[in-house]
Amino acid sequence: MDTLQKTIRLHRVQSDFRRSTALYRGFVGGRGSGKSWIGGYDLLRRARRGRTYLVGSPTSIMMNDTTFPTIKKIAEDLGVWNPSTVKLTPYPTATLSTGATIRFRSFEDPEKARGPNLSGCWLDEASLMEQAAYDIAIASLREGGEQGWLSATFTPKGPTHWTHETFNTGKPDTALFKARTGDNPFNPVGFEATLKHQYGETSFARQELGGEFVSIAGAEFPGEWFDWPGFWFEDWPHNLVYKVLYLDPSKGVSDFAGDAKKNLEGDFQCFVQAGLDDHGTIFLDAHFHREDPVAMIARGIQLCREWPVVDFSFEDNGTMGFMVPEVQRQLVASGVLIPWTPIVNRIPKIQRIRHLASYLSRRQVRIRNTPGGKLLRAQLGDVPFGFYDDGPDAAAGAVDRLELLTLGPSA
């Protein structure tokens, strides 16, 4: 049988990543540092006959536009792509000519990514995913009774993001490889210099070009407002005077009424639980999901059952009247009494979120040490530059309800 040899050029960090034997490997890099390419190439080189591998992308749009074409192109160049085996529904699956099977999945809702046992997994643009994507994926790495591996490639999103905590804090069996945009000699001539001229000498440039985990300069809330002893809490205190639940249902919730699958790639829906103790300290926890509005409202009612509140409020802007009757219907069906209020916000979102500054700056806010709490902290640290701001908006709404309870309608 003839053997085909092909020379593949890697830059130094890509080569170090490829040679690593760590179970969980992260490749963090600036734009154009070759992180997605090496993630796809590495998976194809590791794929074994008769084994199953998962390729994950933050959304189906990114999967179709970037991740799937990247794998396909590299596999074609390596001579292992077999188009006759590709199935596009219900999600893409391909069997390579080497006999390995690759499943492609988006992680809009990580819970729906649960599936068969795997020998390996690559998460592309992992910093745009929830931590639950990583947690669920690594629990599936047990195909054939063997421990599988996971690699994640991503642009850094700051020192509070789960990717930093997972890959850059010295955890066992974990390795992180850092690459700058300039480390990739295969970029167009002048690519990095052009971006530097546009970004300037900023923290954003250090993140996007240097691949550094930095707190973005100019963020609304400085890091010292969060990073103090006692900021994180584990269990709800027993001396809470008021407990409220606030829901930011995300943009496009009205679209769900006609199509339950529509817009699941947009903003998160965020529930924030907020408690106020007898010393004036605010305790927060958050729950992020993407689901149809019927399930979303059912989740809110269940949270109220598990953690009884004196107020359940939700933003009703742009819901086209869908939310109110559905909340009422489900409450009647459940047979429980929960005080609830639809809120129409007329103050711009950034102004609502800025109101949290007076409490954060005085260390009056503590956040629960949960995946949702950590994501809320990360989103607060990214205001106003973050891709998502549903958590901060819901937190602001919850605090506003606490103020109303303590001060009355004139607050």
Return the domain boundaries, the chain: 12-208, 223-407
Query: What is residue 319's predicted lDDT score, i.e. its pLDDT?
Result: 63
Q: What is the mean pLDDT of each run of 10 residues along the chain (411 residues)?
A: 67 96 96 95 97 95 94 95 91 94 92 88 94 93 96 89 89 95 92 88 82 78 88 96 93 44 59 96 94 91 95 83 88 91 90 95 95 88 81 96 83 45
Q: Quick check: do 12-208 and 223-407 share a fold?
A: no
Query: What is residue 217's predicted lDDT score, i.e. its pLDDT?
Result: 65
Please return the burial class of 93, using the count of CB atoms within 10 Å of its CB with bins 0-12, 13-18 and 19+.
middle
- Give, in degrees to the nearest 5, the angle at Cα 230 between 228 and 232: 95
The architecture in CATH of the region 12-208 reads 3-Layer(aba) Sandwich (3.40)
Query: What is residue 264's predicted lDDT score, i.e. its pLDDT?
Result: 43
Cα separation, 312 vs 184, whole angstroms: 51
Residues 152 and 126 sit within 8 Å (Cβ to Cβ): yes
* Secondary structure of residue 388 in the 3-state scheme: coil
pLDDT digits (tens, 9 = 90+) for 260-297: 434 444 567 999 999 999 999 999 999 998 888 899 99
The architecture in CATH of the region 223-407 reads 2-Layer Sandwich (3.30)
Query: What is residue 203's predicted lDDT score, i.e. its pLDDT?
Result: 73
pLDDT digits (tens, 9 = 90+) for 129-151: 988 899 999 999 999 999 999 99
